[in-house]
Structure 1
Amino acid sequence: MDSSSSDLTQDPPLQQAREPILNLPGALTAYILLIAVIHLRVLLPDEWNAGIIDLFAFVPKRYDQTLMDGAFPGGTPAKIWTFFSYSLLHANLAHIGFNVLWLLPFGSALARRFGALRFYLFLTVTAAAGALAHLLTHEHALAPMIGASASVSGTMAAAMRFAFVSGSFLSFTRGDADAAARVPALSLSRALRNPRVLGFLAVWFGVNIVFGIGGITPGAEGADVAWQAHIGGFIAGLILFALFDPIPHARGDAAPALPSDAADH
């Protein structure tokens, strides 16, 4: 009697908690939702929608010194905010989807590592870097540039500083998502000597150049790809990563080991 009663009162075996398939940090989820909400502009009348593009897209011609301040909507202040605001506008759902697809792995890792404030500031800085690269290569152009691709490129570059370190999200020995995002990063010089990072850089630059030369614009049919802006955002993300990174960096010979590299040689 006692034994059967004891069996009935035994605690059920604990089940190991499973990590959700899609476990996005709140900062990234909020950013994606913001882009989606802003895209509801397409439901507005055409003239209103065109006005939003004129006011918030990045237009190189806006910075022509021979033009009066009132030549473009927003005047002088718009010359500042369009360096960032253009990145929140997209051509269509496919354009949004293509950017979000790359943000899911790279943006998630960076948002977990940086925290919300640093993450949003980083997206803003890389968007501005992309706009500057576009301005330098498209002086006097009237075609508006929109899309988060420069910022997305920046997150991909920044993630390369720690993605292949043992325990991180692209290594063979990754931990849980939070631990994988917080491994000590490689210095820029060491990252640029790492075979995996160099391979990623070669593929990324190659794809963007091919897309640019071939006029291929994933998710934004009928528009030219702003590949120079992508490169501007990428280079800024790669170089400026350390200014935003709150995780202490290993230095010199104490830099984090990449034990799986040996298997690749």
Structure 2
Amino acid sequence: MLDPSQVSAQRRQPILNVPPVITGLAAVMLAIQLVRDWVDPDTAVEILALFAFIPARYDPSILTPGVLPGGTAADIWTFVTYAFLHGSWTHVGLNLLWMLAFGSPVARRFGVLRFLLFFTATAAAGAGLHLLTHEGEIVPMIGASAAVSGCMAAALRFMFASEAYVAWRPEMFGTAVDYPAPPLSVVMRDRRVIAFVAVWFVINLAFGVSAPLGIADGSVAWQAHIGGFIVGLLLFPLFDPVRRTPDDTTFMRQRNG
């Protein structure tokens, strides 16, 4: 349990103290968008062919080997590199805002290396589910939304954990990064978490239902969002360096039971 002086010190920490790894990822994504705007159209297409995630790349009946650049190496790296490409400044801006909000506490909790591995895993999960649901599709998928969705899921695993010690308030979100996270079975009994997950899934599934009807933009890769979210939620303990204690688990069960 934290003593009052530790809690007081944590309260004085800036809420928007952005971890360097988040700043670095944002800088890379913005620089890539700038380059894509600056190069000629043919080069822009080549960048997409080399680094975007294209399901048809894995279907020889659609594209014969060698049509897309990069070969076998690109078959692997595009599961992640697509997350650094965006369709517009608005696209990259929205993803960076969400990554700032949810990626920052996750990065502070995980540290640089663990966060980069987590970002990679959730991006790859999003690409994997997109591949399963868009087999043979030639349209490239780009954007960091799957990895950002994974950060949202990871934040849910611990964002309310500080209630085991102090009453939760918005400004206390930052202190939750230091508290042990309860098991998923406990987290998913919290009504706030249930509400967040329900709304998040409804919004994403709405894109899937409305896109074929022409109501919403069919270019939204909502399946990739779901892939990143689910993997972020389930694999969180593999990356989390903060370990639970028996007392923490018992308290959370009593509070949520």
TM-score (ref. length: structure 2): 0.85
CA contact 2:159–2:173 (8 Å) conserved in 1: no
Show the counterpart of 1:11.
none
Show the counterpart of 1:94.
90
Give the counterpart of 1:56 among 25, 32, 51: 51
Matches for 1:117-132 after TM superposition, within 5 Å: 117-132=113-128
CA RMSD of aligned residues (A): 2.7
Task: Please tell me whether residue 201 in structure 1 is matched to residue 188 in structure 2.
Answer: no
Q: Aligned residue pairs: how many?
A: 241
Show the counterpart of 1:69.
65
**Separation in 2, partners of 1:128, 1:255:** 35
CA contact 1:113–1:182 (8 Å) conserved in 2: yes
Could you tell me which amino acid in structure 1 is paired with residue 37 of structure 2?
V
Matches for 1:1-265 after TM superposition, within 5 Å: 19-20=13-14, 22-40=16-34, 41-66=36-61, 67-166=63-162, 171-172=168-169, 175=172, 177=174, 179-215=175-211, 224-251=219-246, 254-255=249-250, 257=252
**Separation in 2, partners of 1:226, 1:127:** 12
**Separation in 2, partners of 1:115, 1:174:** 21
Bigger CA radius of gyration = 1
Unaligned runs of 5+ residues in structure 1 are 1-16
Cα offsets for 1:152-199 (capped at 9, x unmatched): 00000011001122359x93275473x331211121111122211111
TM-score (ref. length: structure 1): 0.82
Q: SS at 2:115's partner residue?
A: helix
Unaligned runs of 5+ residues in structure 2 are 1-10
Shift of 1:257: 3.4
Cα offsets for 1:10-46 (capped at 9, x unmatched): xxxxxxx965563211111111111111111211111
Q: SS at 1:160's partner residue?
A: helix
- Identical counterparts, % of pairs: 50
CA contact 1:167–1:174 (8 Å) conserved in 2: no
In the superposition, relative to structure 1, how do residues 115 and 235 fare at CA in structure 2: closer, same or farther (>3 Å)?
Answer: same
**Separation in 2, partners of 1:89, 1:76:** 20
